[in-house]
Amino acid sequence: MKRLISTILAVLLLAGTALGQTLGGHNSGVTAVQGASGPPPAQFTQGSDQPAPAGNNTTALQMPTTVLTGKYYSQVWGAVGLLLGATPPTSITLGFAYYGQSSFQTLTVPVGMLVANANLIIPFAVQTPDWNTANQYSIMTVNVLAAGQAVTIKAGTSSAIETWSPHS
């Protein structure tokens, strides 16, 4: 599973390069914008398994803080690994938000995938609305909302890469 996620992220990284996006090394902290191409990408991997109680919007992934000067669109590619229990939840929704704000986009996991003891890997690709004026901080989060039963967010399969494209 880890190899599959790594392969998918590598393909997405290459696709981003082919589209002319500037991609660099991994970012674990604050990066200032250098020129019009934007900062290097930020990668985040869930450090340990994390419970997501039923009815609670639980942060699965949180991108590092990046200082942006100018206007940018943020693109985030990744996957969230989930382990369901003996009684599966009635629904699972991934929410994409700026830190501390409401989700600007959601992804609902198809109900047919919610079976007892399932190990799920939910891939996603999302572009944020137009974001950032001078010197604002961008912290993107991927949240899990399970209904009816708790799930576990899996560390080994939850990972994302965030890149930025300038907006004129």
- Count: domains in the chain: 1
Q: Which amino acid is at 33?
A: V
pTM: 0.71
Residue scoring higher pLDDT (98 or 115) = 115
Tokens 């393909």 belong to: 11
Q: Which H or E element spans position 125? A: strand 119-127
More confident: 136 or 94: 94
Q: Which residue has the tokens 């382990």?
A: 83
Which CATH number goes with the domain that contains 48? 2.60.120.760
What are the structure tokens assigned to 46, written together? 């869930």
Most confident stretch, 9-13, 25-29, 73-77, 135-139: 73-77
Digit-coded pLDDT (tens) for 61-71: 887 766 666 67
- Name all contacts of 58-61 with Cβ < 8 Å and 24+ positions apart: 58/143, 58/144, 58/145, 58/153, 59/141, 59/142, 59/143, 60/94, 60/142, 60/143, 60/144, 60/153, 60/158, 61/141, 61/142, 61/158, 61/159, 61/160
**Which domain, by its residues, includes 129?**
2-166
Q: Read off φ and ψ for residue 105, nearest 5 degrees.
A: -155, 150
